[in-house]
Amino acid sequence: MQVVGEMVIIHVPTPPATPTQMTLTTSSPLTPAALQGVRVIEMGQLIAGPFAGKLLGEFGADIIKIEPPGAGDPLRSWRMIKEGTSLWWQVSSRNKRSLALDLRTPGGQDVARRLIGEADVLIENFRPGTLEGWGLGWDALSALNPRLVMLRISGYGQTGPYRDLPGFGVVAEAMGGLRHLTAEPGRVPVRVGVSLGDSLAALHGVCGVLIALYHARVNGGHGQVIDVALGEAVLSIMESLIPEYSAFGAIREASGSALPGIAPSNAYGCADGYVIIAGNGDSIFRRLMQAIGRPDLAAAPELQENRGRAARAGELDGAIEAWTLLRTVSEVLEVLRPAGVPAGKVYTAKDIHEDPQFRAREMILRQTTRDGYEVDVPGVVPKLSATPGAIRSAAPRLGEDTDAVLAEMGLSVEQIAELRRKGVVA
């Protein structure tokens, strides 16, 4: 067990048989931090902006999260609550400091300007025009701090005819083409089950921030705006969707768990559930057919390349499922994994929590929250050999760091008390 400030991080490398049989060791080294010295002001709420801040914070950036006094970020009360705070919050806001500041007031805007004037990065995911209405738009802030990197995440981006429309990740997934594909043929499109559009936008945003910081370092210190639209972040992962339409007028349709044009790759029923099998590589296909007792298909000349297999995808799926239905998921994996065929169980949270691979790579970490209870959370991705990311502090209470941040800005105790009296901070 390792204690860092008020934070306790415990790594559990193997699945516990009972709570008393846990083996506890330290997590990855907490230093050095690749982004140490980078100060980030996070103004975003809920998912996309805060997820970007989380990623930067895990690699050492100082994240000052501005929250409205009172309820704070709505994510504090989303989904399952323990000790008055969302468990989601414990993941999203780790490694951050909370400044309870009312940006709707002139006093709050003045404090924000002073903070941003000394910052490296500003993250915001308000509707376009909101910051400009507070006197905190790009022109004003870049004049104040020419090296500022500003990440702006919104539904449709800062320009274009849809700029002023409200946009959530769920709508972005539909507009970016993803929802049209996430269904069984002829059935209602389903959501992925997590806020994928927001997370993709955050990932693209972090890429932009790191590119912009590098550019500023090697090109005279000038900052810039990173403009990320939720729908564009989704569209960017849609592979050949657009060129196929452009070249052939082909509109890719929903295909359930199959991968159209690439075979065999699907979810197959077993005696006790489903297994995912990806046998679409040429040599992998032959090994798969041998493993399921179909050497005739393994040797068929017309099935040696993907184009031939794709033309007979239904037949191949039928042959595979005829074999899997007679076996449990575990029995299928016991045959296919030694044969070098990519295959896996469809994991639940329990499966993830107990999996030795996730444990070995420190993807399940135990942390002590500000409320004093311990909870397991996902680890840090990606894994860096020299400057690994880490959980350095638990998610903060609302306004926990207000006085400390304002004091760092040079405000006296009396000035802080006056701002609190006016309702600017809490």
Q: Which residues are catalytic?
A: 198
Provide the β-strand partners of residue 270: 273
DSSP string computed for 105-165: SHHHHHHHHHHHHT-SEEEE-SPTTHHHHTT-SHHHHHHH-TT-EEEEEESS-SSSTTTTS
For 266-299, give one letter per residue: b (16+ CB within 10 A) or e: bbbebeeebbebbbbbeebbbbbbebbebeebbe
Q: How far is CA 96 from CA 39, 222, 390, 415, 420, in A?
A: 11, 26, 12, 24, 21
The position carrying tokens 């057919």 is 289
Strands 2-4 and 364-368: unpaired
Q: How far is CA 310 from CA 150, 163, 188, 303, in A?
A: 46, 41, 25, 9
Among residues 35, 55, 51, 37, which one has the least CA distance to residue 387? 35
Range list of β-strands (E), 216-324:
224-229, 265-270, 273-278
The position carrying tokens 């896996």 is 344
Q: How many CB atoms lie within 10 A of CB 240?
A: 12
Residue type, 198: D
Q: How far is CA 70 from CA 11, 24, 106, 154, 258, in A?
A: 35, 38, 18, 24, 48
The DSSP 8-state label assigned to residue 395 in this structure reads P
